[in-house]
Amino acid sequence: MIRFKEIQKAYDNGTKALKGVNLRIDDGEFVFLVGPSGSGKSTIVKLITAEEAPSGGRLMVNGYNLNNIRPGQVPFMRRTLGVIFQDFRLIEKKTIQENLIFAMRAIGASPRETRKRVPYVLELVGLEQKAGCRPTELSGGEQQRVAIARALVNNPQMIIADEPTGNLDPMRSLEIMMLLERINELGTTLLVVTHERELVDRFSKRVVAIENGRIISDETGGYYNDEVTI
Amino acid sequence: MKLRYNFGYFISEGFHSIFTHGFMSFAAVCMIVCCLLIMGSFSLVAVNVDHMLGDLEAENEFTAIVEETYTDGQTTQLQAAIRGIPNVASTTYVSKAEAMAAFKEGREDNELLNDLPDDVLRARFRIHVVDIERMKETASQVEALDGVAKIRAEFEIAEGFVVLRDIAGAVAIILVVILLLVSLFIIANTIKLATFNRREEIAIMKMCGATNGFVRWPFVFEGMLLGLAGALVAFLFQWGVYSLVANAVTGSDTMSLITVLAFRPMALRVLGAFVGTGLLIGTSGSVLAIRKFLQV
Ligand SMILES: Nc1ncnc2c1ncn2[C@@H]1O[C@H](COP(=O)(O)OP(=O)(O)O)[C@@H](O)[C@H]1O
Ligand SMILES: [Mg+2]
């Protein structure tokens, strides 16, 4: 669940990245966030993960009010989120399995819990055969699936993916999107940031478009298709 | 909202990190060993010097010469009065005959002295003081008593010892403080490098929702283990070095005046001080080092 109410974000250097954004994402939704480079997409992601604080407006994430959240509460808010990046961000000297265990131990899971959960998510992303490999031994698409498994492993309410297919070829990108769609069907809310029009148009999902720090459209059924019909 | 802190996990992570960052850990332990050794050696020298000064201080005394006309009874009263003065540790009565005997000692060849009657010298008290620094004050208090003819003392020597001891103490404290700060700085930077190597891991942990405490603990354990290892190694080295130097000093003719304390009775205190200092440096160094990395 996400609520942006008139959110402003100015960075320390004065850059106004967001200029009054209103956005509501309910539990169970699958939402694409599209827009040109520098339009403020990653800023929205950083506000949701509390990496940055809003300069103005009201912000709620999964029941946490981020306007006046205590620093000690931020980790617990983050446990309700799974985050995926364009550059995967896996630990290269750990195996796939160890990467997932690492993410679980980070929030205090016991070895028994990791033994139960890790094989399940590895199977979900189709990498049960690669559990003992290191990230460098995998293709980009496989590495991103590991990152998705890691985002899922702590069973978050919502997954946020910032350009998850930016480093992948069209075929792998489609596979990743279909995997994310499947995860959404299993009950997790999905917010996917991308600027790949073909990809967005292949799915009939809600598309929020942002430009120059403002939401310019929010419709279901393919944003770029609409552009063509105008 | 449950917080499960698994210390086994923190310790094994700390251990693991020490070995994966082998060189940095080695460097950190070496630094701790060096700092502790310098600190320890200096402190041990200071302890020895203080001990010797204590010996010398014990020999510091002054003499109060009794009025010639005083009877034995009056002298006994005088001794009680002297003992009543604060800072007087003890008094020893020296009779006229004893004073004469002491004077004649070593001068047996001098024929002139042989004919002297025993009561030429006056009776006297040898007075020891508790605090050498207040010797002058105590001496004038004694001098003011009725029946004391005169005071004989070597104030210059007494004052010299006090100055020497004060300087040694001040230098020791200043050096120890400087060395502590230097080693803290080095440990902090060592662990900062270790955290820098793992800033990715830390960022991932924070992204997954790890608390600051959780991220901090393995580093704190790492620092503690490094401090402990350094302390133990430094202790063994200190023992060896001290014994070698002690043997050399006691075995040498030119330095036969110097008495060296044995290491064994001090070993436990040295070990305790090293372990305590090592743990303190290691822990505070790691806390200092990762402060910055937790602000995400
Ligand atoms: N840490 C930062 N400090 C200053 N300006 C920033 C920072 N991060 C992003 N910006 C600026 O904010 C604007 C939006 O950036 P971003 O949200 O990353 O866009 P997008 O992800 O859509 O490409 C850009 O003009 C960018 O230069
Ligand atoms: Mg971006």
DSSP for A29-52, written as a single string: -EEEEE--TTSSHHHHHHHHTTSS
Radius of gyration of chain B (CA): 31
Residues of A in contact with B211 (CB under 8 A): 72, 75
Give yes or no for residue A93 having a pLDDT over 70.
yes
Residues of B in contact with A108 (CB under 8 A): 2-6, 214
For chain B, the average pLDDT equals 80
Assess whether B66 and B178 both reside in one domain. no
Rounded to the nearest 10 degrees, what angle do helices A96-105 and A140-153 cross at? 30
Assess whether B225 and B285 both reside in one domain. yes
Separation between Cα atoms, residue A46 and residue B2, nearest integer Å: 26
Give the pLDDT band of residue B57 (cuts 50, 70, 90): low
The DSSP bridge partners found for residue B126 are: B63, B92
pLDDT tens per residue across span A8-46? 999 999 999 999 999 999 999 999 999 999 999 999 999
Separation between Cα atoms, residue A164 and residue A143, nearest integer Å: 11
- Given a contact cutoff of 8 angstroms between Cβ atoms, the answer to whether B67 and B149 are in contact is yes
- Contact criterion met (CB < 8 Å) for A108 and B296: no
Task: State the pLDDT at residue B3.
Answer: 46
Domain ranges of chain A: 2-220
**Across B10-17, average pLDDT:** 73
Assess whether B12 and B131 both reside in one domain. no
> Count of CB atoms within 10 A of residue B6's CB?
16
Contacts of A202 (CB under 8 A, 6+ apart): A174, A177
pLDDT tens per residue across span A214-229? 999 998 875 555 554 4
Q: Is the dihedral of CA A111, A112, A113, A117 positive or negative?
A: positive
**Across B82-107, average pLDDT:** 82
**Domain edge (last residue) among B128, B153, B178:** B153
The DSSP H or E segment spanning A56 is: strand A56-61
- Given a contact cutoff of 8 angstroms between Cβ atoms, the answer to whether A180 and A153 are in contact is no
Instruction: Give the structural domain span for B241.
Output: 2-56+160-294
* Buried residues in B100-127 as b, exposed as e (16+ CB within 10 A): beeeeeeeeeeeeeeeeeeeebbbbbeb
Give yes or no for residue A230 having a pLDDT over 50.
no
Lowest-confidence pick of A84-98, B110-124, B241-255: B110-124
Output the CA A194–ligand 2 centroid distance in Å.
9
**Across A116-132, average pLDDT:** 96
Number of domains in chain B: 2
Residue A114 per-residue DSSP state: H
Whichever domain contains B117, its CATH number is 3.30.70.3040
A114 lines ligand 1 (CB under 6 A): no
Output the CA A45–ligand 1 centroid distance in Å.
11
Task: State the pLDDT at residue B196.
Answer: 78
Separation between Cα atoms, residue A164 and residue A83, nearest integer Å: 10
- Contact criterion met (CB < 8 Å) for B214 and A106: yes
Assess whether B117 and B213 both reside in one domain. no
> Could you tell me which of B142, B152, B172, B158 has the C-alpha nearest to residue B49?
B172
Percent of chain B with pLDDT over 70: 86
Domain spanning A2-220: CATH superfamily: P-loop containing nucleotide triphosphate hydrolases (3.40.50.300)
Q: Say if strands A189-194 and A158-162 run parallel, antiparallel, or are unpaired.
A: parallel
> Could you tell me which of B40, B51, B28 has the C-alpha nearest to residue B240?
B40
- Contact criterion met (CB < 8 Å) for B4 and A108: yes
Cβ contacts below 8 Å, chain A against chain B, sum to 54
Tokens standing for residue A204: 């009939």
Look up tokens 């990467």; give the residue: A99
Assess whether B278 and B180 both reside in one domain. yes
| Angle, CA A151 vertex, CA A146 and CA A152 arms, to 5° | 95
Shortest distance between the Cα of A83 and any Cα of chain B, in A, equals 7
A129 lines ligand 1 (CB under 6 A): no
Radius of gyration of chain A (CA): 18
**Across A70-98, average pLDDT:** 95
Task: State the pLDDT at residue B254.
Answer: 67
Assess whether B204 and B73 both reside in one domain. no
Assess whether B142 and B66 both reside in one domain. yes
**Across A59-63, average pLDDT:** 97
Assess whether B134 and B169 both reside in one domain. no
> Could you tell me which of A111, A66, A85 has the C-alpha nearest to residue B200?
A85
Is-above-0.80 flag for pTM? no
CA contacts within 13 A on the Cβ side of A119? 5
Look at B30 and A48; give whichever has higher pLDDT: A48
Assess whether B233 and B288 both reside in one domain. yes
Task: State the pLDDT at residue B21.
Answer: 65
Give yes or no for residue B64 having a pLDDT over 60.
yes
Q: Give the Å distances, CA to CA, from B287 to A28, B1, B213, B218.
A: 41, 26, 11, 11
B208 touches chain A (CB under 8 A): yes
Separation between Cα atoms, residue A68 and residue A49, nearest integer Å: 14
- Given a contact cutoff of 8 angstroms between Cβ atoms, the answer to whether B172 and B42 are in contact is yes
In this structure, the residue with its CA closest to atom 12 of ligand 1 is A17
For chain A, the average pLDDT equals 94
Give yes or no for residue A183 having a pLDDT over 90.
yes
- Contact criterion met (CB < 8 Å) for B209 and A78: yes
Assess whether B6 and B117 both reside in one domain. no
Q: In chain B, what's the furthest Cα-to-Cα distance?
A: 103
pLDDT tens per residue across span B254-287? 666 667 888 888 899 999 999 999 999 888 888 8
Give the pLDDT band of residue A59 (cuts 50, 70, 90): very high
Separation between Cα atoms, residue A96 and residue A148, nearest integer Å: 12
Assess whether B242 and B167 both reside in one domain. yes
Give yes or no for residue A77 having a pLDDT over 90.
yes
